[in-house]
Amino acid sequence: MVEKLSDGQRETALRGLDGWVYDATSGAIARAFKFKDFSEAFAFMTRVALAAEKAGHHPDWSNTYNSVTISLSTHDAGGLSARDIALAQAIDKLLA
Ligand SMILES: C[C@H](O)[C@H](O)[C@H]1CNC2=NC(N)=NC(=O)C2=N1
């Protein structure tokens, strides 16, 4: 069982995450990504899937053609945990 982040911990973590937005209703952070075409978007999703499986932590996401929206929360904690921050950082690294 992993701990939900405090408001302060969440705000500090979000300052270091470009493009990720916190939604208080869902208790999740989300970021939208745009690619050249579906093939590029799906290649990215494949890499995210491998990173997620490695982390044992998985995204809620959607894909429409060249857009991918990823939402991260820790269902077990009922909100945001350090696992979401770590996965968001790993996802951002895939784009660097
Ligand atoms: C049993 C397993 O470790 C858990 O169900 C994991 C798997 N992946 C998960 N992913 C996310 N995003 N939240 C979770 O609470 C979660 N729990």
What confidence tens digit (pLDDT) does each residue in 48-93 have? 999 999 999 999 999 999 999 999 999 999 999 999 999 999 999 9
Domain 7-95's class? alpha beta
Domain boundaries, the chain: 7-95
Cα 87 to middle of ligand 1, angstroms: 12
Give Cα separations from 64 to 3, 42, 61 (angstroms).
Answer: 33, 10, 10
**Would the CB of 53 count as within 6 Å of ligand 1?**
no
Residue 5 CA, distance from chain mean position: 15
Residues 43, 60: Cα–Cα separation, whole Å = 17
ipTM: 0.91
What is the per-residue pLDDT across 2-56, written as a single tens digit (0 to 9) for each? 999 999 999 999 999 999 999 999 999 999 999 999 999 999 999 999 999 999 9
Its pTM stands at: 0.96
**Would the CB of 58 count as within 6 Å of ligand 1?**
yes
Residues 23, 95: Cα–Cα separation, whole Å = 23
